[in-house]
Chains A and B, each alone.
Chain A
């Protein structure tokens, strides 16, 4: 009996996605939700650039500009970049280590729905009295003074989605520790798995600091405490510390998986094994470690003193060393390879110099004395867009093109993909390269307009034109996705022809149990090893047997929905009588469904091996 062959109605498909605990479907959910928020954040970016295109513009007012700016940063970091990367981690990592699912499929679904409801809650602020306007960093003195409920939406929304991210991180860690296929030792894991591992460890140790920071600010705003109220003995610098103890590891949480995606793409299309694999692993772990040692470089101008600044400056510059190791390893992987310039490879090649520029300005900013000049200017804006767009967004676009066939069983159009690449690449540098100079010329960041005659006109106009190139590139990508989905030409296990790792050894998209028999891994790039010995696929490590699978569940959705309801109650508690009952109702829904989950046994189910053999026969005939 083949489950894939049955055509399901829309309602059944929707219910399937609402209750799924399958990592591949959760990956698709992450991609859809993350992609949607990416478009929202992109739209906000366009509004910013339109407003700044000409001096004294009145496209949006100062207050609305603050809201757009805050939401652009918050959305892009928490609701677009992280979920899109989580999508790839879910889609690819379990396949790369030869696992049938993640360690905690139920928690995986819960993590997604928490992120989703947190993101929806945050964005509802646009329709319910105004969005947060204290910047994505939400510094305490500013966010305490912010009127209305905007900042409350930020706090409660991020608290909910942050809990989901933490669960996702723990889940990936345990999956990688416990669920690797026979022979898949740590030092045979693909680089994307390694970067997922280290990024998840960073999530585990960084997000609780944000949780605490958000709690303190929420208590101050909604429950009358005095953590950041200086008149009552409070101290606003505590927020800055807590935020950046989370915030700096966060940039590595984003960029390490991006490094991982490129470390998969470059060997495949250079048709060579990754140069310096063990030094790549070492560099990844070292970046993760150093990532926790440098948070105060965001606070050089706070006045922590010359010794603290010097220590954090040196630690920051030290990160350039492992990053440099990675850059050289990617170059040496390509060196002497027989390179195929596919769309993913275009992004990979463009990523190296782009990210290098971001790294160089990073070292410039790390020099504490010089930072007093760069601080809060467009130079900083240019720097972090070079690392985040040049690193993470390029990787997400490359990964979309690269893993699309594995996720959906059909290839995105290469010609359109290259058009997207060139438009995006040119648009990106047009937008952000000039912003280095805007910053050095003295334009401060976060301002809603500028006046004529200061020499900012041309550069800002150029920057805005670049942004439109990126917008068109995104539209082309969407067209590509639609055309590809309509055509839906099915591809085989290894559509790029040069796959090296386990995910390319199974059908595209994989069956819901991934591996009928767990594969035997005999070294780094296991599929490549088998190909070089003339074999078609992996050697199984176990006889054909029953497969244990988890049951679908609607409970994760309900748990998350309860917190979504409770957040409204907490926020409107002081304004309306219904606030407190709604808060209690929401918590009751959440804890009640946790109680239900706890007392009801869920043993999962078994797929019998007879069904597996049948499935295989059909697959061969088709």
Chain B
């Protein structure tokens, strides 16, 4: 089957993302890329753990002063739910239901934007209430770098999904764009997994230790 071929429900294969050689290559390549991303975040986590609560003077806010579980919990729920909605989107992609896929991707984007809004509020809160900034301490640098890298990934993931939705809005699914949607959702899951670790290592461990 060719990537440009006009598709119908009858012709639509079980794994449309891996039907063409290009799709197969992207599938393997993107998984490998996520392997590299894992090392990137592992390095950032290690740096954060080494610099946690390392501040220049006793007045500086520490992790236990800053973090509040309700907000972190809300953000976790928003992002976890967005992962679920992206799974629904991929389910509809495999069933060749373009409109429903777009709908669920749209919900994913809204949840992601909600997460991003919370994060902006949170950072703003720390800076103004606690004077905990990127430059105030090694702790601050490590915190904003780790959580900010994740936030940057969220921004990139959202832009990616929105771009795909807009670009393909009029022409529907094909074997050419199915791998693109699939990889964007894979990326979104990865962002979610990283957040689970941030929630545990930064927020939960910040509360107890």
Give the residues in chain A near B173, CB-CB below 8 Å: none
The interface residues of chain B lying within 8 Å CB-to-CB of A189 are none
**B28/A208 in contact, CB under 8 A:** no
Determine whether A332 belongs to the interface, using a CB cutoff of 8 Å to chain B: no
Assess the B28–A177 pair: CB atoms within 8 A: yes
Tell me the chain A residues, 582-606 only, with Cβ under 8 Å from chain B: 595, 598-599, 601, 603
Interface membership of chain A positions 209-243, coded 1 if the CB is closer than 8 angstroms to chain B and 0 otherwise: 10111011001100111110101111100100110
Shortest B97–chain A CB gap in Å is 23
Residue of B with least CB distance to A207: B36
Known: A170-B33, A225-B141, A226-B135. A213 touches B167 (CB 8 A): no
Q: Does B207 contact A (CB under 8 A)?
A: no
B37: chain A residues at CB < 8 Å are: 208
Which residues of B from 62 to 119 have beta carbons under 8 Å from A? none
User: A598, B163: Cβ atoms under 8 Å?
Assistant: yes
Given contacts A238-B47, A599-B163, A603-B3, contact A233 B138 (CB under 8 A): yes
Among A103, A209, A224, A231, contact of B39 (Cβ-Cβ < 8 Å): A209
Point out the residues of chain B lying under 8 angstroms from A211, CB to CB. 40
Q: Which A residues touch B209, using CB under 8 A?
A: none
Interface of B is mostly: helix
User: Which stretch, B8-16, B48-56, B192-200, touches the partner chain A?
Assistant: B48-56
A173 at the interface (CB under 8 A from B): yes
Question: Are A104 and B55 interface neighbours, CB within 8 A?
Answer: no
B134 CB contacts on chain A under 8 angstroms: 219, 223-225
Cβ of B124 within 8 Å of any chain A Cβ, yes or no, is no
CB distance from B17 to the nearest CB of A (A): 14
B43 touches A213 (CB 8 A): yes
A227 touches B36 (CB 8 A): no
Known: A166-B36, A205-B36, A603-B4. A232 touches B28 (CB 8 A): no
| Interface SS of chain A | helix
Q: Are A234 and B35 in contact (CB under 8 A)?
A: no
The answer, yes or no, to whether B203 is at the interface (CB within 8 Å) is no
Q: What CA separation (Å) do A224 and B134 show in the bound complex?
A: 8
Question: Could you tell me the distance between the alpha carbons of A372 and B176 in the complex, rounded to whole angstroms?
Answer: 59
Kindly list chain A residues whose C-beta atoms are within 8 Å of the C-beta of B204.
Answer: none
B137/A103 in contact, CB under 8 A: no
Closest to B52 in A: A233
Total A-B contacts with CB atoms under 8 angstroms apart: 114
CB distance from A236 to the nearest CB of B (A): 11
The range of chain A's interface size is: 35 or more
Give the shortest distance, in Å, between B30 (CB) and chain A (any CB).
Answer: 9
- A141-195 CB contacts (< 8 Å) to partner B: 166, 170-171, 173-174, 177-179
Closest to B28 in A: A174
- A287 interface contact, C-beta 8 A: no
Given A173-B32, A599-B163: A178 and B39 interface contact (C-beta under 8 Å):
no
User: If the complex has contacts A225-B135, A233-B139, are A204 and B145 also in contact, measured as CB distance less than 8 A?
Assistant: no
* Residues of B contacting A396 in the complex (Cβ-Cβ under 8 angstroms): none
* Nearest B-chain residue to A210, judged by Cβ: B43
Question: What residues of B have a CB within 8 angstroms of the CB of A104 in the complex?
Answer: 25, 29
Does B140 make an interface contact (CB < 8 A)?
yes
Tell whether A245 is near chain B: CB-to-CB under 8 Å: yes
Say whether B205 faces chain A, with CB atoms less than 8 Å apart.
no
Q: Give the shortest distance, in Å, between B94 (CB) and chain A (any CB).
A: 22
In the complex, what residues of B have CB within 8 A of residue A245's CB? 43
* B36 contacts A170, C-beta separation under 8 Å: yes
Are A171 and B141 neighbours in the complex by a CB distance under 8 Å? no
Is B7 located at the chain interface by the 8 A CB criterion? no
Contacts A170-B33, A209-B39, A229-B138 given; 16 further ones with Cβ under 8 A?
A103-B29, A174-B28, A178-B21, A205-B35, A207-B36, A215-B145, A220-B141, A225-B140, A225-B141, A226-B135, A233-B51, A233-B138, A235-B50, A235-B54, A598-B167, A603-B3
* A interface residues (Cβ-Cβ under 8 A, vs B): 103-104, 166, 170-171, 173-174, 177-179, 204-209, 211-213, 215-216, 219-220, 223-227, 229, 231-235, 238, 241-242, 245, 595, 598-599, 601, 603
Show the binding face of B for A, using Cβ within 8 Å: 3-4, 21, 24-25, 28-29, 32-33, 35-37, 39-40, 43-44, 46-47, 50-51, 54-56, 134-142, 145, 163, 167, 176
Pairs of residues from A and B, 4 with the lowest C-beta to C-beta distance, nearest first: A233-B54, A233-B138, A225-B141, A208-B40
Would you list 7 pairs from A and B whose C-beta atoms are within 8 A, ordered by A residue? Answer: A212-B47, A225-B135, A225-B145, A232-B56, A233-B139, A241-B46, A603-B176
